[in-house]
Structure 1
Amino acid sequence: MLFNSLEFFLFLPLVFVLYWFVVHKKLKLQNFLILVASYVFYGWWDYRFLSLIALSTVVDYFIGLTIDNSTIKSTRKRWLLVSMLFNLGLLGFFKYYNFFIESWVDLLASVGYQIENTWTLKVILPVGISFYTFQTMSYSIDIYRQKLKPTKDFVAFAAFVSFFPQLVAGPIERASNLLPQMLKKRKFDKLQSIKGIELIVWGMFKKVVIADSFAPIVNDIFSNYTDFSGGTLIMGAIFFAFQIYCDFSGYSDIAIGTARLFGFDLMTNFNFPYFSRSIGEFWRKWHISLSTWFRDYLYIPLGGSKVGKLKGIRNVFAIFLVSGFWHGANWTFIAWGGIHALLFIPSFVMGTNRRHLEDGTAQITMLSFAKNFGQVLFTFAVVTLAWIFFRADSIQDAVNYIMRIDSFKIDALSFIMFSDIILIIILLVLDFMRYKQMKIHFIMWILMVLAIIGSLNREIQAEFIYFQF
């Protein structure tokens, strides 16, 4: 079920009414309703994949209890390994099996061994599998590290794993944050609900009005990049940068806002990343739930930055390359991760990667504004350059795309796109107002709702981009 669908607009009020006015007196009934609603929400795509979520839930529920009940370290580690192999096995089979087979066949072909590729399978990628496998796996890891006690309430745990607002595209919630909220009584909070509705409207505006407006332009340019001038290719890359931001952060805003309607607080997944003044700051603000997941469960266990510069550089490359590979079974994503690693390494080596932890607009002078503005533009430029690899069908296409940007010549399509630049300006103004916690006038919310309604009839880019990951 899509957030931007008629089914969801009927589904959400129904669940809301049942949750707060029918089963509100009993916590177990509320959690059971969330569980049922979540399975209906996910099963709307393909009910067959509900078995994967159910199996993952059962496996990690019992493994969590088993780890906690054992005092023998080797036994605890063995059960943790079972959890990791199971979750990574699911993810590997459905998402990466064909990639590894095809890459192996191509490698043999490159050294003269031609073999017929008969091992690939017609496997459908289950929506959200990259998100909920990481969510359940971190539950087992935290229990093993004794940072979390397992719950014996199976319904609450199952609701945590399948919580429909963030099930298919995050944020990737930690059990330490969401599970305790499942286990305590929730009370209706009018102010929290109003803020939730505002987030839903803002997320829908970014997705339906902005991202879906840019989608056909971006698709046309990247599919036919040899037909366009350098100026159009530059604008195509910029449009994709805003398309993926509005698409993904829009989903996260809708997810967080929907969760608030039911009394839950999810973690922030985007924190105005295009206002970043460095790559390090960008990654503290982009897809925060994933970047912190890799920090806590891969980077720090490898030693982080405390093992010397050389090993520290190795660790940086590890998290960026794995992060790229997490996004999809294509070398373009690995290249995208590698580019970000190369961009991040200089500040890591010089020890400046923790700069810009403060609000860059807190104390504005002409000099500081010019400096911050220049840093923001440079960071956005290199991030946008990397996005070309993320969006291209192959590494060769990405390289060819960049090589064709040899001039700022403007063609006919470029002139057509100038009207869409207004949407970027509107986005940046509204984003900056939210960044500075300025109140958005009621009239502006009404205009956003009207824009959303006017855009829902378009049959373009209906699904969210991150559903494929």
Structure 2
Amino acid sequence: MLFNSLDFAVFLPIVFVLYWFVLKNNLKAQNVLIVVASYIFYGWWDWRFLFLIAFSTILDFLIGRKLAKEEHLQKRKVLLWCSIFVNLGFLGFFKYYNFFLDNFVSAFSFFGNEIQANSLNIILPVGISFYTFQTLSYTIDVYRKKLEPSKDFMAFTAFVSFFPQLVAGPIERATNLLPQFYKKRTFNYNLAVDGLRQILWGLFKKIVIADNCATYANLIFNNSDDYSGSTLVLGALFFTFQIYGDFSGYSDIAIGTSRLFGFDLKQNFAFPYFSRDIAEFWRRWHISLSSWFKDYVYIPLGGSKGGTAMKVRNTFIIFIVSGFWHGANWTFIVWGALNAIYFLPLLLTNKNRNNMEVVANHSFLPNIKETFQMLLTFALTMLAWVFFRADNVGHALNIISEIFSKSILSTPNFEGFTKSLIVILMILFFLSIEWLGRKGLFALEKIDIIKYKPLRWVFYLILIVGIIIFGGDQQGFIYFQF
């Protein structure tokens, strides 16, 4: 079920009414409703994959209970590795089986040995990368004794399958979200209104920005051989805003929907395109995944405490693994490695934590230095997105080589170029609102122009009309494939 679909527009109010009006003050019944609603929401795509979620839920719940009783270190490690092996085993099979098989065959063919191997027609379960990491965080934290194991199976099931963030995050830690299922929840009008604001902004990001950008990004990338460097730059620009509007839009809708039910999810995007260096970008982009890899992979490897060789090794590991998490294609691995290369100079010169405050925190506009830093960081990020979007590494390299050719000086020309200028104006409007609201958890939280009620409702009306009139062709969320 898509957030931007009529199905969800009917589904959400029904669940909301049942949750607050029919099951009011009944915590256990509310948790049961969340589980039922979540399974309906996920089963809307393919009910067969509900068994995967159910199996992971039961396994990690039982392992958590067993860890609570077991004090022997080796037995605790066996239990932990059982959870890791099974969860990552499912993820590896569904997401990476054919990738490893094809590369295994290619490796032997390179040395002149032809082998026959049949790939499988495997359907990737929607959101498997997200809920797998969420359940793993629970088992690891229980093993580390940072979290008491759940005794309430229904609350734990609701935590694993919570429908607002089940499919594409944020990847919630058990230490933050699970305890919220134990506590009685009362309706908070201000929290609900804030949630609706965030949902509205998320829908604008997705329907107006991402879906319109997708039309031209797909056209240019799918026919890249026909276009000049200047046109390919526009294609990369459209994809840069497509993926941000798409993914951060999903996160806004997920967080806003959670607030309607009295839950607080962590911020997943903090205006990353206003970053002054790559380190700041990665503190602001897909925060839940970046922090997950930092806490469960980077720090256990030694983090940045060792010598230079260890710092370089760990940085490449974390970025390459992060890239591979996104998909079974060498393009994602190269994308991760390229970001590691961007990041290393900052790490090795101890400048990776220079920009901790939001840009222009005490002024309306950035200074010249900050402007240059943001533009450079944006350009490097956009270049890396070419690998993320391309069909394969060769495709990406061809696009980049054309971008850096003399054709970059030509006038962009592609079908629908004139109409695409309207999308660029939408992007500028979008960036203006994001800039004004950059100090909040989301753009509309602290934006000054909506402090006054008449202006606030006019602004909301503009967004709603914009969604209706300028909404692009409905498309699925990009991160569903991850």
Q: What TM-score does the superposition give when structure 2 sets the normalisation length? A: 0.95
> What are structure 1's unaligned runs of at least 5 residues?
none
Which residue is equivalent to 1:226? 225
Which residue of 399, 424, 443 maps to 1:421? 424
> 2:270, 2:284 within 8 Å by CA — same for their partners in 1?
yes
Match of 1:464 in 2: 477
Does structure 1 residue 62 correspond to structure 2 residue 62? yes
- In the alignment, which of 463, 469, 474 is matched to residue 454 of structure 1? 469
State how 1:2-401 maps to structure 2 within 5 Å. 2-118=2-118, 120-364=119-363, 369-401=367-399
Assess if the C-alpha contact under 8 Å between 2:25 and 2:186 holds in 1. no
Mapped to 2, the partners of 1:105 and 1:216 lie a distance apart of: 36
Kindly state the Cα deviation for residue 449 of structure 1 after the two structures are TM-superposed.
1.2
Determine the C-alpha separation between the residues in 1 that align with 2:105 and 2:420. Answer: 42
Residue 417 of structure 1, CA deviation: 2.6
The structural deviation recorded for 1:419 is: 2.4
C-alpha RMSD of matched pairs (Å): 1.2
How many angstroms does 1:450 deviate by? 1.7
Contact 2:195 2:260 in 1 (8 A): yes
| Per-residue CA distance 1:351-383 (angstroms, 9 max, x = gap) | 1101100122123498x6101000000000000
Q: For residue 452 of structure 1, report the CA deviation from its aligned partner.
A: 1.8
Q: What do the CA deviations read for 1:233-261 (whole angstroms, capped 9, x no partner)?
A: 11110110000000000000000000000
Deviations 1:4-37 (A, max 9, x none): 1001000000000000000112100000000000
Give the SS at the match of 1:235.
helix
Distance 1:84 1:411 in 2: 49
Q: Is the 8 A contact 1:226 1:404 kept in 2?
A: no
In structure 2, the partner of 1:445 is: 460
User: Runs in 1 of length 4+ with deviation above 3 angstroms?
Assistant: 363-366
SS in 1 for 2:151: coil
Partner secondary structure for residue 116 of structure 1: coil
Say whether the 8 Å CA contact 1:280–1:344 is kept in structure 2: yes
Retained in 2: the 8 A contact 1:283–1:291? yes
The answer to whether the Cα contact below 8 Å between 2:227 and 2:413 also exists between their aligned partners in 1 is no
Deviation at 1:113, TM superposition (A): 1.4
1:258-316 superposed Cα distances (whole Å, 9 cap, x missing partner): 00000000000000000000000000000000000000000000000011111011001
CA contact (8 A) 2:170 2:265 kept: yes
Q: Which amino acid aligns with 1:380?
A: F
Gaps of 5+ in 2: 440-445, 451-455
Contact 1:230 1:410 (8 Å CA) reproduced: no
> Share of identical aligned residues, percent?
55
SS in 2 for 1:233: helix
Equivalent pairs counted in the alignment come to: 465
CA contact (8 A) 1:214 1:240 kept: yes
Structure 2 counterpart of 1:400, which letter? N
Amino acid at match of 1:45: W
Moved more, 435-444 or 251-260: 435-444
State how far apart, in whole Å, the 1-side matches of 2:77 and 2:459 are: 54
The match for 2:413 is 412
Q: SS of the counterpart of 1:199?
A: helix
